[in-house]
Amino acid sequence: MGESGYFHRRAGRWASAAGLMLCVMACVTTPPYQEMSDARQAIAVAEEVGAAQKSPALLAQARQYLANAKEKMEKRSFSIARSPALLAREKAIEAARHAKQRNLP
């Protein structure tokens, strides 16, 4: 039983390690669909509140980040695409806030 038990424990460890690696890889390589959608929606809101006229530079940055994220998605560089998608959303929110502040009397 000594040698047989050793191999079973070792096989169990390998299976656990392989399962963990698959989970980690799945998390890392998942396409950032939600982040892309959030960025597009934030840009649309910024446009609705007049950011194109009142915060054109910030809105342009948001659009550029989104284009960069889209390019990375097309190349299937999902983990790299997530960052510019998040930045696009942040810049769009900033553009919308700036535009709203400029609308205040």
State how far Cα 3 lies from the chain centre: 48
Residues of the chain with pLDDT under 50: none
CB 56 within 8 A of CB 92: no
Count the neighbouring beta carbons within 10 Å of the beta carbon of residue 11: 10
Are 18 and 39 part of one and the same domain?
A: no
Are 39 and 55 part of one and the same domain?
A: yes
Are 83 and 52 part of one and the same domain?
A: yes
Q: Which residues contact 52 (CB under 8 A, 6 or more apart)?
A: 46, 59
Count the neighbouring beta carbons within 10 Å of the beta carbon of residue 18: 10
Predicted local distance difference test score (pLDDT) of residue 9: 64
Q: Express the helix, strand and coil content of the chain in percent, nearest 5 each.
A: 90, 0, 10
Are 40 and 66 part of one and the same domain?
A: yes
CA gap 72, 32 in Å, rounded: 10
Domain that residue 69 falls in:
31-103
Predicted local distance difference test score (pLDDT) of residue 105: 62
Predicted local distance difference test score (pLDDT) of residue 68: 98
Predicted local distance difference test score (pLDDT) of residue 7: 56
State the amino acid at position 19 in one-letter form: G
Predicted local distance difference test score (pLDDT) of residue 103: 72
Predicted local distance difference test score (pLDDT) of residue 35: 97
Predicted local distance difference test score (pLDDT) of residue 29: 73
Predicted local distance difference test score (pLDDT) of residue 3: 61
